A and B are shown apart, each in its own frame.
Chain A
C-alpha cells in the first residue's frame, strides 16, 4: 500500500479498496520499522493520525469527502501545529508547542488530509544537507552514508522511502528542489506569495516559500491546489484566487519552447549530471518541444547576493528568540544582557549563529549600502535576466544541483562549499519565480534532478511539463533501497 501515489490513494479510498485507518496504520508501522535508520521524522503523531483517519473514513462513508480526505501526509517541522511541538530543527524551539496552526496546516486539515507527524530539517532551514538539525542528520534512502539534501531533507527522505506519499516543505534558496533532486522525488517551489507564510517559522521573509514534495507531478499538483490560497494574515501573500493546478496536466507540450541557460551547464557541473540533464532535454525534444539556448548573464552573482540578503533578513527575524517569551532560556542569567547573550549563544547551532553574525555585519552602520542595498540592486538585475528570457521561452530547464548526494560530513567544515550546492536554485528565489525538480536518471547509482523554472504564476504549465515527462519516463517510479525493512 505504501507504493501508492496520492492520486491512487484518493481513488482507492473513494472506491472502498481500503480505508484511511488501514493506510495510516500501515504507514505508521513503516515509520516505526524504517525511520530509526533514516531519522526523517522529528515527531510522529500516531494517535492523532489514527483519530483523524477514522474521522476521514466517516466522511468518506457519508459521501462528504473534501479533496484529500483520508490521505496521509507529513509537515516539515517549520509549520506551526496546535498542540504538537514545532522545533524548526533547533534546540531553541525544542520545547515550543504552538497554540495555533499555520495556514498551510489548516488548509490540509480542511482538505481532510491526515498528518502523520513533523519531518526533520536543517536548523531554521539553514543548510543543504540536513546535517545542521539539532535532532541529527537525515540519511538518504538511496545510500544511508549520504545526505538527503536540505533543508527539507526529512520531507524528501520520508517520501523517497515511501513512509508517506507527500510532505510539505519550504524553499528559501533551494530547500525543496535540492533535496528532491538528491532523493529522486518531485518537489515544487511556487511563485513567491502563492503559499501563505503565516505560521511558517521565518528564515528570510522575502525569499521563503512553502511547497510540496511528492513522488509525481500529478501529486504535487493535488497538494499545491490545497496549499496555495490568498491569506489576509500574510500581507506578502498574493491576492490571487485558489487554482486547480491539475487542470492542465494532460495538455500537449507540442511546440513548447524550453530555454536552456548556458550558464547552468558550465564548469563545476558533474559530468554524469550534465549527461542526464542532456538526455532529459532530448526526451523533451521527442515529445515535441523545442530547445532554445538562452543566457542569464548575472547567474554568477546569485549566490553572493543571496548570502547577503538571506542572512540579513535572518538576523532580523531571529532576533525574536530572546529567552523571555518562548523557547530556550539559559540557566541562572546574571542580568538581562547575559540572559539574551547566553540563551541565544546556547540555543542556536553554529550555522545559524554564523548567518546571524553575517547578517548583522551586512546591516550594521556604515555597511548597509555596500552590502544589503547593493545585493537588492543585483537582485533586480538577476530578475531582469529571467524576464528577458521569458520573452522568448515558456519554461527554463537545467540541473537542480551541481552533483548527486555527497557523503555525510563531506562539506560540513566548509560553509562556502555547502552554499554552492544551491548555485542553480538560488536565482529563482531571488527573482521570486516558481521552480521544480523532477527525477531524470542516476549518476553513480544516485538520483539526479532536472530543474524546471516557470514564469510568474505559471505553476500549472510547469506541472504539465513535468507530468508529460513522467508519462514518458519511469525515473520517478524507481524505488530507493531503504524502502524495504531488510535493506542495510
Chain B
C-alpha cells in the first residue's frame, strides 16, 4: 500500500514534525510498508469484541484532591531552553 507525498505532508503537519523535501519519498515508502503490515488486521472478524484498554481491566483510581507535592516551579523552569520572569518564552504569537 503506497502512501502519497500529500498524505505524508498532512501527517507531518498533524504531528508537527518537519520533513525535508529530499526525504519525503523515502518516508512515504517506509510508511507504506508499515501500513501494509498492519492492514492484515482488516481481515479479522472482530464483531462484538470489546476493545481492550488494560490487560487486567483495571479502572481509573481516584484519590482525594489534596496537595501532596511541593511547588517546584524554579526547578522545572530551569529545564526550559528559554525562560524569563517565571515564564516560558516562545516566538511572538499575537500581532
Binding site for B on A (CB under 8 A): 96-97, 99, 191-193, 206, 232, 235-236, 238-239, 300-301, 303-305, 307-308, 315, 319, 322-329, 333-342, 344-346, 348, 353-354, 356-362, 364, 370-371, 373-381, 383, 414-416, 419, 431-433, 456
Residue among B42, B60, B75 making CB contact with A370, cutoff 8 Å: B42
Chain B nearest CB, measured from A221 CB (Å): 22
B17, A345: Cβ atoms under 8 Å?
yes
B52, A335: Cβ atoms under 8 Å?
no
B37, A416: Cβ atoms under 8 Å?
yes
A97 to chain B: which residues have CB within 8 Å?
79
User: Within the assembled complex, what's the spacing in Å between the Cα atoms of A327 and B15?
Assistant: 17
Asked if B85 is an interface residue, CB under 8 A from chain A, the answer is: no
Asked if B67 is an interface residue, CB under 8 A from chain A, the answer is: no
Given A303-B37, A357-B11, verify A380-B51 contact (CB < 8 Å): yes
> Contacts A341-B16, A348-B17, A353-B17 given; 20 further ones with Cβ under 8 A?
A191-B55, A193-B55, A193-B58, A238-B56, A304-B37, A315-B15, A325-B88, A326-B80, A354-B30, A357-B11, A358-B31, A358-B34, A359-B15, A361-B35, A375-B38, A377-B49, A378-B41, A379-B51, A379-B52, A419-B37
Asked if B72 is an interface residue, CB under 8 A from chain A, the answer is: yes
Chain B nearest CB, measured from A81 CB (Å): 14
A432 to chain B: which residues have CB within 8 Å?
54-56
19 contacts between A and B (CB under 8 A): A99-B79, A192-B54, A206-B55, A301-B44, A304-B41, A325-B80, A326-B79, A335-B91, A338-B91, A345-B19, A353-B19, A361-B31, A375-B41, A377-B49, A378-B41, A378-B49, A379-B52, A416-B34, A416-B37
B72, A339: Cβ atoms under 8 Å?
no
User: Within the assembled complex, what's the spacing in Å between the Cα atoms of A415 and B3?
Assistant: 16
A360, B11: Cβ atoms under 8 Å?
yes
Chain A nearest CB, measured from B59 CB (Å): 10
B18, A346: Cβ atoms under 8 Å?
yes
A236, B52: Cβ atoms under 8 Å?
no
Interface string of B15-32 (1 = CB under 8 A from A): 111111000000100110
A357 to chain B: which residues have CB within 8 Å?
8, 11-12, 15, 17, 27, 31
B39 to chain A: which residues have CB within 8 Å?
304
A324, B80: Cβ atoms under 8 Å?
yes
User: Within the assembled complex, what's the spacing in Å between the Cα atoms of A360 and B60?
Assistant: 25
A235 to chain B: which residues have CB within 8 Å?
60-61
Chain A nearest CB, measured from B68 CB (Å): 8
